[in-house]
Amino acid sequence: MDNIKGNRESGVFELTPFQKDALNELCHIASSHAVTSLAELTGTTFDIEVPTINVVPIKEVKYRIEAEKIVAGILIKVDGKYPGYMYILFPERSAFRLIDVLLCRMPGETRNIETEMEKSALMETGNIFASTFCDVVADCLNLTLMPSPPSFAFDMVGAMIDPALVAIAQAHETEHVILFKYAFHEEENGIYGDILLFPYLEGLKEGLSILERKISEKN
């Protein structure tokens, strides 16, 4: 089975259909477990859409993610053999509603994110989410993945992801990035969110090799 195709001179790479399907399935399982953890934390039920996985020119990423939208973002760097960046993004109104739920406030009570308690509630949500996601992927691939302590930002999406895109471009001399994008929602309280993943290429190759071996052994 071919691995990721590309070359360092052009910085272009692509996933085979098999690899894309395998990653899609693995990440859908991991994100579903993570959303279940979020549901247990909040006492509500979340639905998650099937993730999309695309190889995107770095200069076009912002056009794929509503870069001008203001969100409450929980930012996590993932270390280990499958490193990268994870972003859990809540649109402004959804973030306020989530804080109401987490802090047992009346609906509509939160109108801004100013206190450390409010920020900590969202960061703890991100920490639980990321830890669950990484645990599922690590167990499947027999790898070690360690999410870093989350950081919080209340800003435009584009401004948040710029540091990750710069780091990936410099580390791999590439003009492209693999973007994993998921959307999840909870109807009762109107909480919506997105998950963005930007894996490092070398870690992604490692994960794909393991996935392909596992699938070959089953067939």
Is 30 a domain residue?
yes
Domain count, the chain: 1
**Band of residue 182 on the pLDDT scale cut at 50, 70, 90:** confident
- Domain membership flag for residue 51: yes
| 9 domain residue, yes or no | no
Q: Is residue 3 part of a domain?
A: no
142 in any annotated domain:
yes
Among 46-50, 92-96, 157-161, the range scoring the smallest mean pLDDT is 46-50
Q: Which residues face 70 on adjacent strands?
A: 156
Under a CB-based contact definition with an 8 Å cutoff, are residues 130 and 150 in contact? yes
Distance (Å, whole) CA 32 – CA 132: 10
Residue 158 structural domain: 14-218
Distance, in Å, from the CA atom of 94 to the CA atom of 125, rounded to the nearest integer, reads 13
**pLDDT tens digit string along 55-92?**
888 888 888 888 888 999 999 998 887 788 999 999 99
Cβ-contact 89, 73 below 8 angstroms = yes
Domain membership flag for residue 24? yes
Please give the biggest Cα pair distance in the chain: 56
* CATH number, domain with residue 29: 3.40.1550.10
